[in-house]
Amino acid sequence: MVGSVAYDGVETPHGRVDRMLGGACTYISLAASYFTDVKIVAVVGDDFDSADVNLLAGRNIDLEGLERVPGLTFFWSGVYSADMNDRTTLRTDLNVFADFQPKLPPSYRSASHLFLGNIQPALQRSVLKQMRGLRLAGGDTMNYWICDYRHELVAAIEDWNVLLINDSEARLLSGENNLGKAAKIVQAMGPRTLVVKRGEYGAILFHDGGHFMAPGYLLEDVFDPTGAGDSFAGGFMGYLAAQGVDASGAGADPAVLRRAVIYGSVMGSFCCEKFGVDRFRTLTRAEIDARFQEFKSFTGF
Amino acid sequence: MVGSVAYDGVETPHGRVDRMLGGACTYISLAASYFTDVKIVAVVGDDFDSADVNLLAGRNIDLEGLERVPGLTFFWSGVYSADMNDRTTLRTDLNVFADFQPKLPPSYRSASHLFLGNIQPALQRSVLKQMRGLRLAGGDTMNYWICDYRHELVAAIEDWNVLLINDSEARLLSGENNLGKAAKIVQAMGPRTLVVKRGEYGAILFHDGGHFMAPGYLLEDVFDPTGAGDSFAGGFMGYLAAQGVDASGAGADPAVLRRAVIYGSVMGSFCCEKFGVDRFRTLTRAEIDARFQEFKSFTGF
């Protein structure tokens, strides 16, 4: 798992936390750790707290690729709207993340599955090129890279098997408003499997000319949606890795991909129940599987 | 089926029609006619076209309660945004609809199922009071009645078994942003079964303390969303009537309610494929059942 490890300041209608562990790679790795062994590639400053190291290590996440350099860890802060469907960024201090050049420890290069969190596409590409014998590569991106680094992004995703983005990003990347048509355009760019995340409305998996729709989980209280999309990605990719899904047709059983989308939805839903990564401090695999069954019960007919 | 029969002028990114058959009751009745015998209660002016009478009669819809009075039929026109998620009303001429006092022919009063389209709550209530031996009453409403006729509306829905509204209406009616909590508040007002329509994102059925989530159908082209919500209501209620579902616990099999939501979604999706009611000119029950199976195939896991 490659991406940002950061500190976040977040304000939602339920409260405010000035500084807590965050970053895409953190959420992806924590969520994936419930399904498979995770190795992290990221950079933090010398302010990075040992309690946060311990949280990740406690989930059995390999931190050999977590580079520590002098300076401050990436900091982001934002405030959510009353319905939590919008957020405004208050501050983005890239700090040590500005010079991040992902270097994979030799022990990482033979990993079977790779997930590239939302970072500059050229860096995502450089990581993929360091891998040997990769069976499945997936990644995320955002509107900034789609608009301002389009060529670099298109060159990167050409080699991906799975792309996870949200609906507005899918429309932006494809130039097409209709999601079904947008999916075909994006799939023609490289990723044979596309997952379009729709926030509270769930997700759509596009694969092999067909699609699968998963609704969002109806949470009684959304405390903090930060990291929900990344937790989705971690659950999705972690489950695929655990099932040994590879990019060849043989391994990509549509039923496994569908279950991966549900596990992604499950992890995204848990993430929202507490501030930041707090839900992952107590979450158990039994709770995850119980919620998976809940998804079955409120979607079957 | 009670509500408006109207002429509409509609402009979408796919084209424009200056005057075509429309109105909530029209869509509800056409959609329901694929499942059960429908009787219409509405008013039109002396400009109402015999071709439109023939379309309804051709779907075996009982028009004894379609009152004709001197004057012009209700006219509405609007224009949709580029993504068709918003629309702006250009003109609303109530015409003969302004003095609509629904009068049920004696042959209507013993009908087993009633659906009250979106009209003034006091009129909806007057219709319900004319019925004898009703087994299930459902209805729709809108933000205007929720805000400006709240007491009248609350008095009306108290006697309904099923309420079908969209998500923003559910939030407005309950004063609660979270849909799960909003549903409990609305259900406590009377309707034991609540269906929250979410446009392209599908619908949620709340019933007996649980819920069922149906995704929206991924249409390749949305030509005109006008009437989609009413077509949903027609498919939902028509299927319930055909299955003999009544308000007592015994008849309200959750599996039947879930299938009704899918049939509603199916009818709403077909409605969007052509302008106005045009899709219903050629639609067959076999196409409906094929799309029902499609819903199974893209939601199962």
Can you tell me the mean pLDDT for B20-43? 98
Amino acid identity of residue B115, one-letter, is F
Q: Does B212 touch chain A (CB under 8 A)?
A: yes
d(CA B12, CA B43): 27
Contact A301 B258 (CB under 8 A): yes
pLDDT tens-digit map of B72-88: 999 999 999 988 888 99
* A220 vs B263: CA distance, rounded Å: 28
- Among A83, A201, A299, the residue with its CB nearest the CB of B299 is A299
pLDDT over 60 (residue B251) = no
Supply the pLDDT for residue B249.
55
Token pair, residue B84, equals 């068709």
pLDDT band at residue A214 under the 50/70/90 scheme: very high
Q: Which residues of A touch B82 (CB under 8 A)?
A: 177
Establish if A192 touches chain B: CB-CB under 8 angstroms: no
In the predicted model, what is the mean pLDDT of chain B?
Answer: 95
A9 touches chain B (CB under 8 A): no
Across residues B277-283, what is the average pLDDT? 98
How far is the CA of B87 from the CAs of B81, B208, B221, in angstroms? 6, 34, 17
Among A201, A220, A258, beta carbon nearest to B181: A220
DSSP state of A142: -
Does B198 contact A at CB distance below 8 Å? yes
Q: Could you read off the pLDDT of A168-209 as tens digits, one per residue? A: 999 999 999 999 999 999 999 999 999 999 999 999 999 989
| φ and ψ of B89, to 5 deg | -75, 130
Higher pLDDT, B49 or B246: B49
Q: Quick check: A171 and A182 in contact, CB under 8 A?
A: yes
To the nearest whole angstrom, how far is the Cα of A220 from the nearest Cα of chain B? Answer: 6
Out of A56-65, B154-163, B176-185, B241-250, pick the least confident: B241-250
User: Helix axis angle, A24-32 relative to A254-271, nearest 10°?
Assistant: 120
Is the Cβ–Cβ distance between A266 and A296 less than 8 Å?
A: no
CB within 8 Å of chain B, chain A residues 218-257? 218-222, 255
Ordered alpha helix ranges (H), B142-299: 143-148, 150-157, 167-174, 179-187, 228-242, 254-271, 285-299
Asked if B295 and B264 touch (Cβ cutoff 8 Å), the reply is no
| B183 HSE (CA, 13 A, CB side) | 25
Evaluate whether ipTM surpasses 0.85: yes
At B248, is the pLDDT very low, low, confident or very high (cuts 50, 70, 90)? low
For residue B256, the chain A residue with the least C-alpha distance is: A301
pLDDT digits 0-9 by tens, A27-53: 999 999 999 999 999 999 999 999 999
For A64-96, the pLDDT digits (tens) are 999 999 999 999 999 999 888 889 999 999 999
The mean per-residue pLDDT over the stretch B247-269 comes to: 87
Q: State what percent of residues in chain A have pLDDT above 70.
A: 98
* Residue from A125, A133, A109 nearest A247 by CA: A133
Contact B218 A213 (CB under 8 A): yes
Q: Please give the average per-residue pLDDT across B257-282, as a whole number.
A: 97
Asked if the Cβ–Cβ distance from A298 to B211 is below 8 Å, we say yes
What span, in angstroms and rounded, lies between the C-alpha atoms of A158 and A129? 13
- For the ranges A142-151, B35-44, B235-244, B246-255, which has the lowest average pLDDT? B246-255
Gyration radius of chain B's alpha carbons: 18
Measure B241 CA to nearest chain A CA, in Å: 18
Task: Say what the pLDDT of residue A249 is.
Answer: 55
Relative to beta strand B15-22, strand B6-12 is: antiparallel
Bridge pairing between strands A193-197 and A162-166: parallel
Q: Which residues of A touch B262 (CB under 8 A)?
A: 301
Phi and psi at residue B66, to the nearest 5°? -90, 100
| Angle at alpha carbon of residue A231, lines to A226 and A232, rounded to 5° | 115
Residues sharing a CB contact under 8 Å with residue B51, sequence separation 6 or more, in sequence order: none
pLDDT for residue A253 is more than 90: no
User: DSSP per residue over B126-156, as a string?
Assistant: HHHHH-SS-SEEEEE--HHHHHHSHHHHHHH
* CB-CB under 8 Å, B259 with A301: yes
Residue B221 — pLDDT band, cuts 50, 70, 90? confident
* Beta-carbon separation of B213 and A213 below 8 A: no
* Nearest residue on chain B to A13, alpha-carbon basis: B177
pLDDT band for position A251 (50/70/90)? Answer: low
Mark yes or no for CB contact B211/A82 under 8 Å: no
For residue A2, the Cα-to-chain-centroid distance in whole angstroms is 10
Alpha-carbon separation of residue B288 from A214, B38, B213, B265 (angstroms):
22, 18, 20, 10
Which pLDDT value is given to residue B86? 86
Choose among B145, B189, B142: nearest CA to B169.
Answer: B142
According to DSSP, the residues that pair with A44 across neighbouring strands are A68
pLDDT computed for residue B84 by the predictor = 84
pLDDT band at residue A231, thresholds of 50, 70 and 90?
Answer: very high
Chain A residues near residue B220 by CB distance under 8 angstroms: 178, 180-181
User: Within 10 Å of residue B226's Cβ, how many Cβ atoms?
Assistant: 25
- Is residue B86 within 8 A of residue B19, CB to CB? The reply is no
